[in-house]
Amino acid sequence: MKILFFGDIIGRPGREAIKEILPQWKKKYQPDLVLANGENLAHGLGVSERTLKEVLEAGVDLITSGNHIFDKTEAIPLLEDKEISLLRPANYPPMVPGRGCQIIEIGIKKILVINLNGRLFFKESLDCPFREADRILEEYEDEKTAAIIVDFHAEATSEKVVMGHYLDGRVSAVLGTHTHIPTADDKILPAGTAYISDIGMVGPAYSVIGIDKDVIIKEFLTQIRQKKGEIAQGPVEINAVLLETDNQGRAKKIERLREIIDLAN
């Protein structure tokens, strides 16, 4: 089975890039399932009905998220609608709207997608992602899943690496999101789990993690906090990983995909 997973999609530039590249990559790589992190869909913070609809109609099958998912209250009814393929991190408190995992059926095969958020360097006091992973895997242990994909939305590389080793052999892939910078540590761990610390973003190439670079430069120079709502313009970098799994749900291959496109042309 082939699974294509895009990193954090940043605002309009990211959405337009997905619409541009996905038909090409579907033809080239022929994935069975397309996933993406969408917590930054709506002008870089949160999701809206319109922005979510754009990427789902472009061909993404399911959207994961992270700590910014509740930045717009419009996300709450979207998360509560079980017909909409949108996840929030599973280790938010139980009373929080939405769900943190979902089974997707591809023909006769079932793929379990799990969304978790790290705890290091976040202002949110979330439940333990390691224990939540254990709980979900126990809940679905009787399901005959063809693959189990974990989006671990975390800041600290150490926390991501630990999660990879913790789940090695128990899931097909642990894929890091959140920092927007692609890492070069893609590998298959000893027990058969694909791992990468961060897929990277789908957003403006000449920016500071998607934001206009001049705004962030000014903040560093003056040490005065600036308004950070301006998404950068220009060419867009597209970062994703392509996974291949065997019949037992073990990873056979993880490949980093990266392309820069100019949407103005």
Q: Which residues are catalytic?
A: 68
Q: Among candidates 164, 84, 73, which has minimal Cα distance to 116?
A: 164
Residue 42 CA, distance from chain mean position: 15
CA-CA distance, 229 to 43, in Å (whole number)? Answer: 8
Is 91 known as a binding-site position?
Answer: no
Is 8 known as a binding-site position?
Answer: yes
Is 153 known as a binding-site position?
Answer: yes
Task: State both tokens at 181.
Answer: 């910078």
CA-CA distance, 226 to 216, in Å (whole number)? Answer: 7
Angle subtended at Cα 157 by Cα 156 and Cα 161, rounded to the nearest 5 degrees: 125
Is 239 known as a binding-site position?
Answer: no
Is 115 known as a binding-site position?
Answer: no
Task: State both tokens at 255.
Answer: 């490949």
* 78 backbone φψ class: left, alpha, beta (φ>0; ψ -120 to 50): alpha
Is 180 known as a binding-site position?
Answer: yes
Is 134 known as a binding-site position?
Answer: no
Q: Among candidates 63, 62, 128, which has minimal Cα distance to 93?
A: 128
Q: Which residues are annotated as a binding site for Fe cation?
A: 8, 39-40, 67, 153, 178, 180
Q: Annotated binding site: which residue ranges?
A: 8, 39-40, 67, 153, 178, 180
